[in-house]
A and B are shown apart, each in its own frame.
Chain A
């Protein structure tokens, strides 16, 4: 796969060169982005002592000679405990290339590619850096007003998630009626990974998995008008080795605009294989220049493939009500707030031995001030009284943009994070500074540094403090055959060219 991907990219480069030589009107837009970060983390290391070495500690529980709370399985002869793990340094370095080419001699034909190379200079691997070369997309698209088709590696997005496939996709549409229909099929990639499910990369614990790549296919129908957008998705994955279903799901999404400034959006998923409803949401939103507010319902139920055993463990969903609002009382000042209450449905797993919460709240509030020229101040506070954990703290930042080319941003935050399912009350404080320099319109650099102080509170010797400095850097270069459509999202405002005066 790696070799074929490289060959595909090479072919694209050759095609681009050839077309230019031949004088074809080849257009292209691309982004080359290189990023790196350094950070460290510190987990836990399993250790043990002889059962004869432990003794009751201050709280009455057994502790090791050096003060760690221990667990002594009956008949083992040894007692086990977790001590703070070693410092793990990671320094991932990644470069992403995104390229789109058109004007290849056939009107409507374009080539698309998105690939990433990831290296790790740290002491251990960092998540997501394996495999080193990751080809996310490489497809050819032929598009006309009423018809479009793609062939190659592509990501298909829908309410059911982002599905990767090596295959084909075709769409027919009527712009005047707002109708479209899409079908697709091919060999699937592992969920949210650039490799098939057969790769060791996506199965680090050696779990059950299909020995062959799944096949994936689906269909989509949509209708869009000024008053409403509606879409229905169906997607099925088949375990080819067992010739059984891996997943079979249906989803519907809709946006209704019943009146000016009002919109109602929502959707739901139904698991055809399990016969249960999945995640769903509905939100009523009001947007005006000085105020925005929404109220909604949300339901979340995790989804698992049928080839894993997790479906049989009957994960239960939670239902929540959510409200949010933002207010601009004066120009340059925005206040915001959000609150959510959620409760899990009955798990039907009673136990008098362990009490587990089944509901929680999340809320946040903040303010952003942009009244001062070139300055932006932001402060926020949030709390998550969750199930299994609780987190809360302040976030604040100060941004300064002295020129259109340079922006600086200082920030700091606090986090208090007790965990319900283990003795570990952590408080974390961090502060940092980011600088962004746009050397040219299409070339920018970024550099940032952050100091993190972390303190783990425990009633035994596993408590520890430690700090670290994290560095981030990036270089982004945007290239293209014309300038207007290749730059990123700029800031607001619509106005005429900078010809000012009083009409004298």
Chain B
């Protein structure tokens, strides 16, 4: 027997040689040693005896792994709290199992650490399904109800040895995969202690702008490690996809839905669009330390701002300028409506200098909406030589594409009078159109819609420019 034991030990040693590379540093290869131990408590005395060490001492390993019989191993038993958030005490569980299975550590330990029917010392960390079975939870681990977490787990803050890396590797329960879980479903579940199994206040505050004011979140302990669990992308709520959302969201903020706005939005997220912040903004929290940044709003061009909106915005901007003020400052209006001589482009397309004769002749848009035409047009036309400088007919005919343009310019003048006055002064026209009494040639310039009596009653000074002091009375 003695020799047979030695041969057995020697055989095991020989068998162990090719596996020398399997010397476990962070753990222990239990199956490799299954022929050496008949009891778990040989090494794990603390699993059965209160106050005893749970792990073997290095000297226990060195009994064989002395560098001669076996290669030395580097083993240091863990000290301090376990790197786990299990709500577990070996003594309590061992007693419970012992009552059921008898004082046999091989059976007691295997109840949790071995799968049913597994060979001796084929152990692992506690088999979760065994825990669930004993505790009456008829579901797989991650399918268990959220309310059951606390059965086996302590809150994260009570498990200080759990490293962030391990925390980040934990899988999320099936309930967390529900489509509406991130957007709102989790709030209905976040009532008990279960959330605290993996999460802490810091985690909630990642998204919840109103975390400082939310009792459920404040009930959680603070723990920065909880940030190791990453948050999935959170889509905007369905309400935000309503076609009239942009138009109506201000009213929502003022109503019962205001509370839900505060979950994701700070005042600053409104300021991203509302350059003139509405008074209802005060209902939202102010961004700052200790508070999540919340939904990041980036402005976009509203659907109403179609391709020709720069030309078509007059009516809506006139009807409700407050809507414009939601996104646009007066400065921006001025920037377009008061053109900057030092800037190229802007409202007009590039090289509008070349394009502008067409747009101006046909009055594509009103030049006078933004430009003081007498200043803007005449200044440049003067410098370009495109301006009448003397009595008509005494110099070259600029309009040389139309023979006798002077004699037939009436239609062009009435259609594009703004273009005419960009080159011509009033005196050019008075040469012919003033009454003979004041030195003109008496060509009547008055056309359709001219109400002489009405205009004379409004401003007779204008009449005297052509008629002098003898203003005829219209029939």
On whether A386 and B271 interact (CB within 8 A), knowing A124-B383, A391-B358, the answer reads no
Query: Are B298 and A313 in contact, CB atoms less than 8 angstroms apart?
Result: no
- Complex interface: stretch among B39-47, B55-63, B97-105, B442-450: B442-450
User: Does A248 reach chain B (CB closer than 8 Å)?
Assistant: yes
**Cβ-neighbour of B400 out of A71, A114, A251, A263 (below 8 A):** A71
Q: Is the CB of B354 within 8 A of A426?
A: yes
B93 within 8 A of A: no
In the complex, chain A residues whose CB is within 8 Å of the CB of B327: 489
In the assembled complex, the CB of B467 is this many whole angstroms from the nearest CB of chain A, namely: 10
Out of A118, A229, A313, A346, name the residue touching B417 (CB < 8 Å).
A313
Q: Are A73 and B394 touching (Cβ within 8 A)?
A: yes
Pick out which of these stretches binds chain B: A1-9, A17-25, A272-280, A435-443: A272-280
A67 at the interface (CB under 8 A from B): no
Q: Which residues of B contact A348 (CB under 8 A)?
A: 414, 447-448
- Expressed in whole angstroms, the Cα–Cα distance for A246 and B459 within the complex equals 7
**Chain B residues with CB below 8 A from A126, complex form:** 341, 380
A94 touches B342 (CB 8 A): yes
Inter-chain CA distance A130–B370, complex, in Å, is 16
Q: CA separation between A285 and B353, bound complex, in Å? A: 32
Which parts of B379-400 form the interface with A (CB within 8 Å)?
379-387, 389, 393-400
A229: B residues at CB distance < 8 A = 316, 319-320, 323
Task: Please tell me if the beta carbons of B417 and A326 are within 8 angstroms of each other in the complex.
Answer: no
Q: How far is the CB of A203 from chain B (nearest CB, A)?
A: 6
Complex CA distance for A497 and B317, rounded to whole angstroms:
33
CB pair B458–A310 under 8 Å, yes or no, is: no
Q: Does B355 contact A (CB under 8 A)?
A: yes
Given contacts A41-B384, A226-B248, contact A314 B296 (CB under 8 A): no
A194 to B322, CA, bound (A): 25
Query: Which residues of A have CB within 8 Å of B445?
Result: 312-314
Contact B301 A205 (CB under 8 A): no
Nearest-neighbor residue (CB-CB) of B280 within chain A: A175
When chains A and B are docked, how far (Å) is the Cα of A285 from the Cα of B305?
10
CB neighbours of B168 from chain A (8 A): 504
CA distance A388 to B413 in the complex (A): 11
Is A52 interfacial (CB 8 A cutoff)?
A: no
Q: Report chain B residues within 8 Å CB of A336.
A: 307
In the complex with contacts A253-B319, A265-B316, A41-B353 CB distance below 8 A: yes
A226 shortest CB reach to chain B, Å: 7
Bound form: Cα–Cα A501–B169 in Å? 12
Which of A312, A346, A484 is the one whose CB lies under 8 Å from B271?
Answer: A484
User: CB-CB contacts of B355-376 with A at 8 A, as 1s and 0s?
Assistant: 1011101111010111110111
A130 vs B342: C-alpha distance in the bound complex, in angstroms? 12
Q: Which of the residues B169, B236, B396, B426 comes within 8 Å of A308, measured between beta carbons?
A: B426
B residues in contact with A35, CB < 8 Å: 340, 342-343
Determine the distance from Cα of A358 to Cα of B410 in the docked complex, in whole angstroms: 12
Closest chain B residue to A199, Cβ basis? B375
Do residues A491 and B409 form an inter-chain contact, with CB atoms below 8 A?
no
Interface size class of A (residues with CB under 8 A): 35 or more
Tell me, yes or no, whether A316 is within 8 Å of chain B by CB. Answer: yes
Q: How far is the CB of A74 from chain B (nearest CB, A)?
A: 9
Cβ contact of B315, chosen from A267, A346, A424, A493, cutoff 8 A: A267
Q: Is A477 an interface residue (CB 8 A)?
A: no
Distance from A156 Cβ to chain B, minimum over Cβ atoms (Å): 11
Residues of A126-165 at the interface with B, using a CB-CB cut-off of 8 Å, are 126-130, 136-137, 145, 155, 157-159, 161-162
B462 adjacent to A428 (CB under 8 Å): no
Is B315 in contact with A312, judged by CB distance below 8 angstroms? no
- Contact assessment for B322 and A356 in the assembled complex, using a CB-CB cutoff below 8 Å: no
Comparing B64-72, B82-90, B225-233, the segment that makes contact with chain A is B225-233
A42-62: CB near B (< 8 Å → 1, else 0) gives: 111110100000000000000
Name the residue on A nearest B390 (C-beta).
Answer: A46
* B200 interface residue per 8 A CB criterion: no
- A254 nearest CB across to chain B (Å): 5
Closest chain-B Cβ to A355's Cβ sits at a distance in Å of 8
Contact assessment for B446 and A314 in the assembled complex, using a CB-CB cutoff below 8 Å: yes
Roughly how many angstroms separate A350 CA and B314 CA in the complex, as a whole number?
34
A245 within 8 A of B: yes
Residues 130-185 (chain B) with a chain A CB within 8 angstroms? 168-172, 176-177, 182
Verify B385–A292 contact, CB threshold 8 A. no
Pick the residue among B207, B351, B362 that contacts A450 (CB under 8 A): B351
User: A237 CA to B369 CA in the complex, in Å?
Assistant: 17
* Residue contact B386 to A44, C-beta cutoff 8 Å: yes
| B451 adjacent to A318 (CB under 8 Å) | no
Residue B283 is within 8 A (CB to CB) of chain A in the complex: no
> What are 28 sample pairs from A and B whose C-beta atoms fall under 8 A apart?
A41-B384, A73-B394, A85-B385, A98-B329, A157-B333, A159-B314, A162-B337, A193-B375, A231-B320, A242-B461, A255-B319, A265-B319, A274-B451, A274-B455, A283-B312, A289-B303, A294-B312, A302-B417, A307-B462, A309-B430, A315-B418, A354-B408, A485-B268, A492-B301, A494-B297, A496-B295, A497-B295, A497-B296
The 8 A-B pairs at the shortest CB distance, nearest first, are namely A43-B384, A349-B410, A354-B408, A94-B342, A314-B447, A386-B362, A351-B408, A501-B230
A sample of 16 more A-B contacts (CB under 8 A), given A310-B421, A356-B412, A472-B343, is A43-B381, A73-B395, A81-B396, A112-B330, A145-B279, A155-B334, A190-B375, A208-B465, A257-B247, A267-B318, A273-B459, A289-B303, A307-B461, A352-B408, A354-B403, A389-B362
